[in-house]
Structure 1
Amino acid sequence: MLPLFHLAVLSINTFTLWHDQKYVDFPFRKEILVLDLPLKRRVLMLTFWGLTLQTLYFAVALLNDIIGTNERSPKKAPFIRKIKDALFSLAFPVALYVTGAFWTIYAIDKELIFPEVIAKVIPVWANHVMHTFVSVFITVELLFAARTYPSRKVTVSLTFTFILGYLIYLHLSYLKCGVWIYPLLDVLPWHLRTVFFVLSTLVAMFISIVGEKLDSIVNPKKDNAKHKKR
């Protein structure tokens, strides 16, 4: 059943990305339209980065089903299995952060994260694939697929590098056009904006550690010796 699950999620995510590029004309503000960016400027959004990462992970997971191994603790893991396990340690915290951040801000003030002008052009199903099901799918993967987690240093470093890379890209885009992609960032003064970025990074890194701990619980039979040596 695992290959079928990977194929289904890969298909859903790929279709969502394709539909977004084919049919959705995002109502960017005129200042942002001056930016000549690929993929219809969706690269400005962490949601797009996150969904692309999830799609990549499930593609690698499916490839591992075919040419790799899903053994709990293989004596000599194929390279594709090592890539899959490392990608999971990044995909899990990013998915949970995207879901948590989006729906928390949405509950506080929808206009700060998903204003009506955007809600009108993005189908409800696509919004949930991007912001809800990413966490559902990766959690199912956590529960039912075996993996060997990379070291704590690797998992935290991957998450930190991913978030930092996005923040650098976000700030470079802001310097070019003078406005933020998210309304929330426009209303926050610089000091609160800095606090928001720092806390967001710390939360994502914390979730990466939680993912490792949860994996050690749902996969209790595997050798956790390397984790105990940390």
Structure 2
Amino acid sequence: MLRPLFHLTVVAINTFVLWYDQTYINLPLPAKEMENLPLKSRSMFLTFWCLILQTIYHFIALLNDLFGTNSRTPKNPPIIRRVKDTLYALAFVAAIYVSLTFWSIYYVDKELIFPDQIEKLYHPSMNHVMHTTVAIFIIIEMLMVHINYPSRKIGFTVTLTFFISYIIWFFNIYAKTGTWVYPVFNPLNWPLRIIFVCMSLALSMIFYLVGEKLNYVIISSSKDTRSKGVKDGISNGKKKK
């Protein structure tokens, strides 16, 4: 019962923030051409891509709780379980990347990532839902739910497709508007911008490997604990005899 409640809560929180943002918040945009971008221009932000991704993941996880299986090693996992596990690999990377990069740049110079004129429009709790709890929730998920990571080929392909799609969209917006989505790109020259993007992709792959490794350690630890419990039970049974 705890798993469905957790997933439902995350979906409700994220959905409310998405709805509130789209209904009540009007961002000051650096270029008029950006006003025509989808989702009230929010589609230009990786944060928004990530929040939508997290909401979709936890909704699929909820459906898996109700109609799929959370078994550790199902022989024939239903399609929803396979989709959930594969999507988790991407959701973990996106959440950790968004949280770490946002708060790192924020503490160096928040004007480069979250200027005052934008920050004042969001309640701090909404800011944390977009940039903090996405990482917290996805880590809790790993600790609470057994994840069967996809093959590295599939996992890398899905993750790179997501981030490269955003990068293409990001540069396409600049090509059409002549304005960078994130002010952090303004003081950089083109070689540094390319290096920044390449390092971001490399970082996403590192986060993928970290997530995969953490999941393996958690699974191994869980198996060891269970095996020890079985052995202790057998030993105690023998002693009683």
Q: Within the alignment, does 1:25 sit opposite 2:26 as a pair? A: yes
Aligned counterparts of 2:214 and 2:172: Cα–Cα separation in 1? 36
* Secondary structure of the structure 1 residue equivalent to 2:181: coil
Contact 2:112 2:182 in 1 (8 A): yes
Contact 1:112 1:184 in 2 (8 A): yes
Unaligned runs of 5+ in 2: 224-241
Matched residue, 1:144: 144
Matched residue, 1:103: 103
Q: Percent identity?
A: 48
Are the structure 2 counterparts of residues 159 and 34 from structure 1 closer, same or farther at C-alpha, using a change threshold of 3 Å?
A: closer
Matched residue, 2:115: 115
Matched residue, 2:65: 65
Matched residue, 2:234: none
Q: Deviations over 1:17-68 (max 9, x none)?
A: 0010011111111x24455222101000000000000000000000001110
Q: Deviations over 1:180-202 (max 9, x none)?
A: 11100112111111111000010
Unaligned runs of 5+ in 1: 223-230
Are the structure 2 counterparts of residues 6 and 34 from structure 1 closer, same or farther at C-alpha, using a change threshold of 3 Å?
A: closer
Contact 1:73 1:147 in 2 (8 A): no
Matched residue, 1:227: none
Q: CA RMSD in A?
A: 1.1
Aligned counterparts of 1:32 and 1:142: Cα–Cα separation in 2? 42
Q: Which amino acid aligns with 1:116?
A: D
Aligned counterparts of 1:187 and 1:179: Cα–Cα separation in 2? 12
Matches within 5 A, 1:22-101: 22-29=23-30, 31-101=31-101
Q: Which amino acid aligns with 1:139?
A: I
Matches within 5 A, 1:118-197: 118-197=118-197
Aligned counterparts of 1:212 and 1:20: Cα–Cα separation in 2? 33
Aligned counterparts of 2:33 and 2:122: Cα–Cα separation in 1? 19
Contact 1:32 1:179 in 2 (8 A): no
Q: Which amino acid aligns with 1:197?
A: V
Aligned counterparts of 2:110 and 2:133: Cα–Cα separation in 1? 19
Question: 4+ residue runs of structure 1 moved beyond 6 angstroms?
Answer: none
Matched residue, 1:226: none
**Residue 86 of structure 1: CA displacement?**
0.5
**Residue 113 of structure 1: CA displacement?**
0.4
State TM-score, norm by structure 2: 0.89
State TM-score, norm by structure 1: 0.94
Aligned counterparts of 2:197 and 2:23: Cα–Cα separation in 1? 32
Aligned counterparts of 1:127 and 1:141: Cα–Cα separation in 2? 21
Are the structure 2 counterparts of residues 219 and 32 from structure 1 closer, same or farther at C-alpha, using a change threshold of 3 Å?
A: farther
Matched residue, 2:16: 15
* Secondary structure of the structure 2 residue equivalent to 1:109: helix
**Residue 2 of structure 1: CA displacement?**
0.6
Are the structure 2 counterparts of residues 34 and 108 from structure 1 closer, same or farther at C-alpha, using a change threshold of 3 Å?
A: closer
Q: Which amino acid aligns with 2:87?
A: L
Q: Which amino acid aligns with 2:151?
A: S
Aligned counterparts of 1:131 and 1:43: Cα–Cα separation in 2? 16
Aligned counterparts of 1:205 and 1:170: Cα–Cα separation in 2? 19
Q: Which amino acid aligns with 2:19?
A: W
Aligned counterparts of 2:120 and 2:54: Cα–Cα separation in 1? 25
Aligned counterparts of 2:167 and 2:159: Cα–Cα separation in 1? 12
Matches within 5 A, 1:204-219: 204-219=204-219
Task: Number of aligned residue pairs: give it.
Answer: 221
